[in-house]
Amino acid sequence: MSLRNILKWPHPCLEAVCAPVEAVTPEVRTLAADMLETMYAAPGRGLAAPQIGEMLRLFVMDATWKEGEPSPVICINPDILDRGDDVEIAGEGCLSIPGVTAQVERPASVRMVWTDLDGVVQEQWLTGFAARCAQHELDHLDGILTLDRVDDVQRETILDAYEAQT
Q: Is a pLDDT exceeding 90 seen at residue 11?
A: yes
What is the rounded CA–CA span in Å between residue 32 and residue 94? Answer: 19
Catalytic residue among 69, 105, 137, 163: 137
Each residue's pLDDT tens digit, 27-37 = 999 999 999 99
* Average pLDDT value over all residues in the chain: 97
Fold of 12-165: Peptide Deformylase (3.90.45)
121 contact partners, CB below 8 Å, separation of at least 6: 113, 114, 115
* Confidence category of residue 125, pLDDT binned at 50, 70, 90: very high
pTM, full prediction: 0.96
Pick the range with the lowest mean pLDDT from 25-29, 38-42, 66-70, 73-77: 66-70
The partner residues of 79 in beta bridges, in order of sequence, read: 113
Please compute the mean of the pLDDT values over residues 143-160 and round it to a whole number: 96
Per-residue pLDDT at 158 = 95
Q: Is a pLDDT exceeding 80 seen at residue 1?
A: no
Active site residue 137: yes
Q: Which H or E run includes 126?
A: strand 121-127
Q: Is a pLDDT exceeding 90 seen at residue 66?
A: no
Q: Where are the domains of the chain?
A: 12-165
**CA-based torsion, 69, 74, 80, 82: positive or negative:** negative
* Confidence category of residue 166, pLDDT binned at 50, 70, 90: confident
Three-class secondary structure of residue 110 per DSSP? strand
What is the rounded CA–CA span in Å between residue 38 and residue 41? Answer: 5
